[in-house]
Amino acid sequence: MGEAIVADLAGGLLGKLVSLAAEEVVQAWNFHEDLDTLHQRMESVGALLYDAHTKNLIMSTAKNWFDKLEAVANVANVFMDELAYEVTRRKAENRHKSLDFFIPTKNTLLYRLKVAHKIKSIQASFDEIFKSAVDLGLQPVAYLRSTVQDRDIRSTPSYEDKSIIVGRDEDVSYLVQTVCKKHEEDLEVIVVAGMGGQGKTTLARMVFNSDNVITMFPDQRMWITVSDDFDFIKILNQMVESLTLTNLGLTNPQALTRKLQESLKGKKFLLILDDVWNEESVKWDNLTNSLLEIGGDKGSCILVTTRKQEVIIAMRSCVSYWLEKLTEDESYELFKKIAFSDGGVLETEAFATIGRSMVKRCGGLPLAIKALAGLLYSKKSEQEWLEIQCSETWESKSVLPSLKLSYDNLPSLSLKQCFAYCSIMPKNSFIYKDELIQIWLALGFLLPPRRSIALTEDIGSKYFKILLGNSLLQDEEKDECGNIIRCKMHDLVHDLALEVSKHHSVSVKAGEELSHDCKAVYMRLDNGVSTIKPTILKRAFERVQVLYAGADILLHVLPYLTHLTVLVLNADDNQVAQELPFSLRKMKYLKHLDISHYKLPTDITELYNLQTLRVGDLDEIPKRFSNLINLRHLYIRNNYGKKCMFNGIERLISLQTLPYFVVSKNQNCLVGQLGGLKHLSGEIRLYGLYEVANIEEARKAKLCEKSSIQCLQLNWRNTEFGHEDSQHNDEDGSNEDEMEDKEYNDQDVMEGLEPHPNLKTLMIVGFRGKKFASWITVMLNLVKLTLRNCNRCEVLPPLSHLPKLREIVIEGMRNLRVVGDVFCGGQSVFPQLERLNIENCPRLRKILPSCTGVSSQSEFPKLEILKITNCPRLRTIPKSYFPSLKNLVITDLESDMMLGTMSRYVSSLTSLSLLRIGD
pLDDT digits (tens, 9 = 90+) for 284-336: 999 999 999 999 988 899 999 999 899 999 988 788 999 999 999 999 999 99
What are the b/e assignments for 565-586, b being 16+ CB within 10 Å? Answer: bbbbbbbeeeeebeebeeebee
Number of neighbours of residue 36 by Cβ within 10 angstroms = 12
| 3-state percent helix, strand, coil for the chain, nearest multiple of 5 | 40, 15, 45
Q: CA angle 702-708-709, nearest 5°?
A: 65
Highest-scoring range by mean pLDDT, 673-687, 829-843, 858-872:
673-687
Rounded Cα–Cα distance for residues 190 and 204 (Å)? 11
Q: In 3D, which of 327, 369, 329 has the Cα closest to residue 157? A: 369
pLDDT at residue 24 in the model? 59
Beta-sheet strand order (sheet of 484-488): 431-432, 484-488, 474-478
Residues contacting 250, CB < 8 A, separation 6+: 233, 236, 237, 240, 256, 259
99 DSSP β-pair partners: none
Of 241-255, 774-788, 882-896, least confident by mean pLDDT is 882-896
Rounded Cα–Cα distance for residues 209 and 772 (Å)? 40
For residues 604 and 587, the answer to whether their CB atoms sit within 8 Å is no
The mean predicted confidence, pLDDT, of the chain is 83
pLDDT at residue 97 in the model? 52
Judged against a pLDDT cut of 80, whether residue 142 lies above it is answered with no
For residues 226 and 346, the answer to whether their CB atoms sit within 8 Å is no
Residues contacting 864, CB < 8 A, separation 6+: 834, 835, 884, 885, 886, 887, 911
580, amino acid identity: L
pLDDT at residue 735 in the model? 57
**Which one has a higher pLDDT value, 412 or 668?**
668
Number of neighbours of residue 741 by Cβ within 10 angstroms = 12
pLDDT at residue 820 in the model? 61
Please give the share of the chain, as a percent, with pLDDT higher than 70: 82
Rounded Cα–Cα distance for residues 284 and 432 (Å)? 31
Q: Which phi and psi angles does 548 have, rounded to 5°?
A: -105, 120
Please give the share of the chain, as a percent, with pLDDT higher than 90: 45
List, as one string, the DSSP characters of 356-378.
Answer: HHHHHTTTT-HHHHHHHHHHHHT
Residues contacting 413, CB < 8 A, separation 6+: 7, 10, 11, 46, 49, 50, 143, 144, 146
pLDDT at residue 522 in the model? 93
Maximum Cα interatomic distance, the chain, rounded to a whole number of Å:
95
Q: In 3D, which of 613, 602, 559, 612 has the Cα closest to residue 580? A: 602
**Which one has a higher pLDDT value, 574 or 692?**
692
Coil, helix or strand at residue 889? strand
For residues 147 and 185, the answer to whether their CB atoms sit within 8 Å is no
Give the mean model confidence (pLDDT) for residues 149-168: 62
Q: What is the pLDDT of residues 630-679, one digit of tens each?
A: 999 999 986 566 788 998 999 999 999 999 999 999 999 999 999 999 99
Q: Where are the alpha helices (DSSP H) in 409-486?
A: 413-421, 433-442, 456-469
Judged against a pLDDT cut of 60, whether residue 203 lies above it is answered with yes
Q: Where are the alpha helices (DSSP H) in 227-381?
A: 232-244, 253-264, 281-294, 309-315, 328-339, 349-360, 366-377
Q: Which phi and psi angles does 223 have, rounded to 5°?
A: -120, 125
Q: Where are the alpha helices (DSSP H) in 828-909?
A: 896-906
Q: CA angle 437-439-442, nearest 5°?
A: 115
Q: In 3D, which of 919, 891, 917, 896 has the Cα closest to residue 906? A: 917
pLDDT at residue 144 in the model? 44
Q: Which phi and psi angles does 352 have, rounded to 5°?
A: -65, -40
Q: In 3D, which of 655, 717, 643, 701 has the Cα closest to residue 682? A: 655
Give the mean model confidence (pLDDT) for residues 502-531: 82
Length of the chain: 919
For residues 378 and 410, the answer to whether their CB atoms sit within 8 Å is no
What are the b/e assignments for 502-525, b being 16+ CB within 10 Å? Answer: ebbbbbbeeeeebeeebbbbbbbb
835 DSSP β-pair partners: 807, 865
Distances (CA, A) of 74 to 80, 82, 563, 697, 918: 10, 12, 10, 50, 69
Give the mean model confidence (pLDDT) for residues 418-438: 95
Q: What is the pLDDT of residues 838-850, one digit of tens each?
A: 999 999 888 765 4
Residues contacting 894, CB < 8 A, separation 6+: 872, 873
pLDDT at residue 137 in the model? 76
Rounded Cα–Cα distance for residues 786 and 837 (Å)? 9
Q: Is 304 exposed, middle or buried (0-12, 13-18, 19+ CB in 10 A)?
A: buried
Give the mean model confidence (pLDDT) for residues 399-407: 91
Q: What is the pLDDT of residues 20-55, one digit of tens each?
A: 555 555 556 666 677 777 777 777 777 777 666 666
Q: What is the pLDDT of residues 826-840, one digit of tens each?
A: 455 788 999 999 999
pLDDT band, very low/low/confident/very high, at 585 (cuts 50, 70, 90): confident
Q: What secondary structure letter does DSSP report for 664?
A: B
Q: Where are the alpha helices (DSSP H) in 445-490?
A: 456-469
Judged against a pLDDT cut of 50, whether residue 741 lies above it is answered with yes
Residues contacting 34, CB < 8 A, separation 6+: 116, 119, 120, 123
Q: In 3D, which of 205, 226, 398, 233 has the Cα closest to residue 311? A: 226
Judged against a pLDDT cut of 50, whether residue 99 lies above it is answered with no
Judged against a pLDDT cut of 70, whether residue 18 lies above it is answered with no
Q: In this structure, are strands 474-478 and 484-488 parallel, antiparallel, or unpaired?
A: antiparallel
- Indicate if the alpha-carbon torsion angle 751, 755, 759, 764 is positive or negative: negative
pLDDT at residue 43 in the model? 72
Give the mean model confidence (pLDDT) for residues 422-429: 93
Judged against a pLDDT cut of 80, whether residue 875 lies above it is answered with no
For residues 467 and 431, the answer to whether their CB atoms sit within 8 Å is no
Judged against a pLDDT cut of 80, whether residue 346 lies above it is answered with yes
Q: In 3D, which of 520, 529, 565 has the Cα closest to residue 85? A: 565
Q: In 3D, which of 272, 297, 280 has the Cα closest to residue 222? A: 272
Give the mean model confidence (pLDDT) for residues 83-98: 73
Judged against a pLDDT cut of 50, whether residue 725 lies above it is answered with no
First to last CA, the chain: 72
- Indicate if the alpha-carbon torsion angle 362, 368, 371, 377 is positive or negative: positive
Number of neighbours of residue 834 by Cβ within 10 angstroms = 16
Q: CA angle 645-646-649, nearest 5°?
A: 160
For residues 258 and 240, the answer to whether their CB atoms sit within 8 Å is no
**Which one has a higher pLDDT value, 513 or 259?**
259
pLDDT band, very low/low/confident/very high, at 723 (cuts 50, 70, 90): very low
Q: Which phi and psi angles does 129 have, rounded to 5°?
A: -60, -45
DSSP H or E run through 80:
helix 59-93
List strand residue ranges (DSSP E) for 558-679, in order.
566-570, 592-595, 612-615, 633-636, 660-662
For residues 197 and 490, the answer to whether their CB atoms sit within 8 Å is yes
Q: What secondary structure letter does DSSP report for 789?
A: S
Q: In 3D, which of 591, 523, 590 has the Cα closest to residue 557? A: 523
266, amino acid identity: G
